[in-house]
């Protein structure tokens, strides 16, 4: 894979998909349908998926592609592939809360190594460079030329005063019970894969997820966090979270800065 080309294509497609999403988000009304797993889907999910999928297939025709909105792609086999969630945080989108993202990632040998997370309503964009390091680009965002970027680095966490980020739509008592094992200075809620990015920027130290996620939900944010010096581990045994699993379902996990002293589940 030519990483220079990959980063340019992923960034551009994320921005173009973001434009499509915001057209629908800013409309007076939009239809919400239910998928077979009872999760919601909108025209924005479908339009962004069509745009990103076409762009990735044209640019990288020999690479496996897995995308949330195309069930036939879920039978893909291998540990190296492109993976897309065209609109992560559909519930945030439907409720017009802004914390939704476009997620595009490249997984190599089970590890997300490159990715982009774009939050069009928040005007924040995070991605990995060709060398694997992560940056946040400051807007306005031109499609073909990257603007000013700031290198990302996780916090040198203080275990006596941790900053914790948790899901806005899926927080529960089990999550709170785990968070309460730490010495927490403050907690905040965020939607979609922005939680990974808040750890990557040092705005949070720890993001535990005790709930169902799929690989397309997490791969791009995981790549950004990796590139900022962070890590994502399984909740049960603290081994690295891997990709290319059967059915693409994730176990519970913890995203964190390395200085955080993890507690047992």
CATH number at 132 reads 3.30.540.10
User: How many structural domains compose the chain?
Assistant: 2
Residue 131 exposed, middle or buried by CB count within 10 Å (0-12, 13-18, 19+): exposed
Give the whole-angstrom CA distance, residue 151 versus residue 243: 26
Based on the domain organization, do 104 and 185 belong to the same domain? Answer: no
Domain annotation covers residue 41: yes
Q: Is residue 48 part of a domain?
A: yes
On whether residue 14 sits in a domain, the answer given is yes
Last residue of a domain, one of 151, 172, 194: 151
Within a domain: 262? no
pTM: 0.95
Total residues found in the chain within this entry: 265
Domain boundary among 92, 124, 151: 151
Residues 104 and 171 in one domain: no
143 and 169 part of one domain: no
177 shares its domain with 133: no
Domain assignment present for residue 157? The answer is no
Do 12 and 122 belong together in one domain? Answer: yes
In the chain, at which residue ranges do the beta strands (DSSP E only) sit? 32-34, 40-42, 65-67, 81-88, 101-108, 111-119, 124-128, 134-137, 149-151, 162-167, 184-190, 206-209, 231-234, 253-256
156 falls within a domain: no
Residue 40 sits in the same domain as residue 113: yes
3-state DSSP assignment of residue 68:
coil
Same domain, 14 and 126: yes
Whether residues 130 and 229 share a domain: the answer is no
Residue 265 counted as domain residue: no
State which of 151, 183, 217 marks the end of a domain: 151
pLDDT tens for the chain, 265 residues long, are 999 999 999 999 999 999 999 999 998 778 777 776 667 778 899 999 999 999 999 999 999 999 998 878 888 788 999 999 999 998 888 888 899 999 999 999 999 999 999 999 999 999 999 999 999 999 899 999 999 999 999 999 999 999 999 986 667 888 999 999 999 999 998 988 999 999 999 999 999 999 899 999 999 999 999 999 999 999 999 999 999 999 999 999 999 999 999 999 8
Position 264 in a domain:
no
Are 103 and 166 within one domain?
A: no
Distance from C-alpha of 261 to C-alpha of 265, rounded to nearest angstrom:
13
What's residue 208's pLDDT?
Answer: 97
CATH assignment of the domain containing 190: 3.40.190.80
- Domain range for 169: 162-256
Beta carbons of 194 and 85 less than 8 angstroms apart: no
- pLDDT for 94 equals 87
CB contact at 8 A, 255 and 207: yes
28 and 144 part of one domain: yes
Domain shared by 17 and 38, yes or no? yes
Could you tell me how many helices (H) and strands (E) the chain has, helices first?
6, 14
Question: What's the distance, CA 52 to chain centroid?
Answer: 15
Same domain, 12 and 63: yes
């Amino acid at each position: 894979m030519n990483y220079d080309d990959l980063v340019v294509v992923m960034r551009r497609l994320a921005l173009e998909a973001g434009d499509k999403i915001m057209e629908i988000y800013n409309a007076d009304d939009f239809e919400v349908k239910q998928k077979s797993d009872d999760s919601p889907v909108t025209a924005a999910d479908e339009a962004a998926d069509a745009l990103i999928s076409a762009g990735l297939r044209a640019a990288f025709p020999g690479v496996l592609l897995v995308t949330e909105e195309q069930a036939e792609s879920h039978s893909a086999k291998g540990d190296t592939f492109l993976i897309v969630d065209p609109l992560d945080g559909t519930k945030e989108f439907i409720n017009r809360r802004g914390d939704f993202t476009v997620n595009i990632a490249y997984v190599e040998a089970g590890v997300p190594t490159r990715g982009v997370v774009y939050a069009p309503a928040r005007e924040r964009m995070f991605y990995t460079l060709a060398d694997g390091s992560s940056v946040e680009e400051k807007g306005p965002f031109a499609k073909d030329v990257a603007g000013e970027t700031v290198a990302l680095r996780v916090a040198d966490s203080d275990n006596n005063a941790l900053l914790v980020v948790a899901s806005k739509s899926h927080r529960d008592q089990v999550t709170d019970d785990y968070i309460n094992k730490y010495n927490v200075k403050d907690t905040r809620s965020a939607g979609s894969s922005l939680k990974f990015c808040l750890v990557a920027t040092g705005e949070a130290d720890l993001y535990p997820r005790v709930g169902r996620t799929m690989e397309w939900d997490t791969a791009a944010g995981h790549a950004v966090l990796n590139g900022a010096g962070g890590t994502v581990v399984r909740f049960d045994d603290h081994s690295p979270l891997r990709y290319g699993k059967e059915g693409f379902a994730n176990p519970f996990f913890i995203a964190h800065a390395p200085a955080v002293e993890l507690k047992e589940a």
